[in-house]
Structure 1
Amino acid sequence: MPHPNNTLLRIREGRDGDVPIVLGMFDSAVAWLTARGRTGQWGTNPFTGNDRRTRQITGWLRLGGMRIAELDDHPAGCIVVGGAHDYVAPATEPELYIQALVTDRRYHGQGVGRALLDWAVAEAAERGVGLLRVDCYAGDDGRLVTYYESCGFTRTAPFTVGEWPGMLLHRRL
């Protein structure tokens, strides 16, 4: 798919070898957030070397919902779709749930996250479901919630996991 900055953006299925790549994407996001004093979302520690995070990302790959966005054949972002997390209210209709979204900060501002969200919308439509949901960190200044709203999502309900403030959002197709 052509991309605004004349690079080629391609979204492919996750495959063997992607777990360390996705861990690295999260590491770059954590470092970027930490440098800006925004440590509430994912903390300050890299995901690489964290057994729990490695198992989580390996599970996403094995369940088949992982997609990798590549810009000019370089991994730039990852989205994972599947069932809703157990800490949010279940949907009352068939849905597709965005379990994770991360972009490598080297590709910040290049539309990778939006392209992955557009892929999720198309995937939900292809599966014949009219509801796409996502949750995100709602602390600090709420910029992440605002980002999802700018991508067509609507706030559904706030929630907390321990002390972590979250927002559940939805998008109707």
Structure 2
Amino acid sequence: MDTGIKIRKGGPEDVPAMLAIFDSAVAWLNERGITAQWGTESFSSRPKTVEAIERLVSEGAPWIAEVDGFPAGTLTLTPHPGQYVAPAGEPELYVRYLATHGRFHGHGVGSALLAHAVDETRRAGVSLLRVDCFAGSEGRLVAYYERQGFTRTEEFTVNDWPGQVLEQRV
């Protein structure tokens, strides 16, 4: 079945499109009363967040999912987690900043990007793919990752933000 989702390698030139995806995702979450996950301000209006995305893109492998040429989702793979999660102690790829544009929520964009991340992990000869996510809102995002084949490992907290690390062996 062709979903119409095409995934391509991203780069520094895609930062504006990535920020637009994140901004749309924040608005989508906020419209549903979910403000604790990514806050209420757009990513593009937060200079430190913009810098973090630019740095991540330069250090990792960004991927852009497109539907009819429109940037519908993104994730970046890095060989390590963010600073708030301990490295695995073995080679790993880590999913960072997975987001779907609000217009495409529920259309399989996130699933396609995660399947691509599994493929990229295999291609790299690495057997561990990890991700972390917001564990609040009744654990809906944790359950989403579990439906994508991930298994819960450790929990963590950054300030009052509850997080969950999940992994998948590939």
Kindly indicate whether the alpha-carbon contact (under 8 Å) linking 1:79 and 1:116 is maintained by their aligned counterparts in 2. yes
**1:94 alignment partner, SS class:** coil
Question: Given the two structures, how large is their TM-score scaled by the length of structure 2?
Answer: 0.95
Matched, 1:160 2:121: no
- Partners of 2:13 and 2:120 in 1: how far apart? 24
Match of 2:39 among 43, 46, 49: 43
Deviations 1:40-80 (A, max 9, x none): 10110111121111111111222241110111111100010
In the alignment, what sits opposite 2:112? 115
Matched, 1:94 2:97: no
- Partners of 1:67 and 1:93 in 2: how far apart? 23
Which structure has more helix as a fraction of its residues?
Answer: 2
- Partners of 1:129 and 1:41 in 2: how far apart? 29
- Partners of 2:22 and 2:12 in 1: how far apart? 18
Kindly indicate whether the alpha-carbon contact (under 8 Å) linking 2:12 and 2:54 is maintained by their aligned counterparts in 1. no
Matched, 1:11 2:13: no
Matched, 1:23 2:19: yes
Unpaired runs of at least 5, structure 2? none
Matched, 1:103 2:92: no
Give RMSD over aligned pairs: 1.3
Give the percent of matched residue pairs that are identical in Structure 1 and Structure 2.
51
In the alignment, what sits opposite 2:58? 62
Runs of 4+, deviation exceeding 6 Å = none
Deviations 1:9-64 (A, max 9, x none): 21111134311111111111111111111111011011112111111111122224
In the alignment, what sits opposite 1:71? 67
Question: Given the two structures, how large is their TM-score scaled by the length of structure 1?
Answer: 0.93
In the alignment, what sits opposite 1:133? 130
- Partners of 2:121 and 2:115 in 1: how far apart? 10
Unpaired runs of at least 5, structure 1? none
Kindly indicate whether the alpha-carbon contact (under 8 Å) linking 1:14 and 1:64 is maintained by their aligned counterparts in 2. no
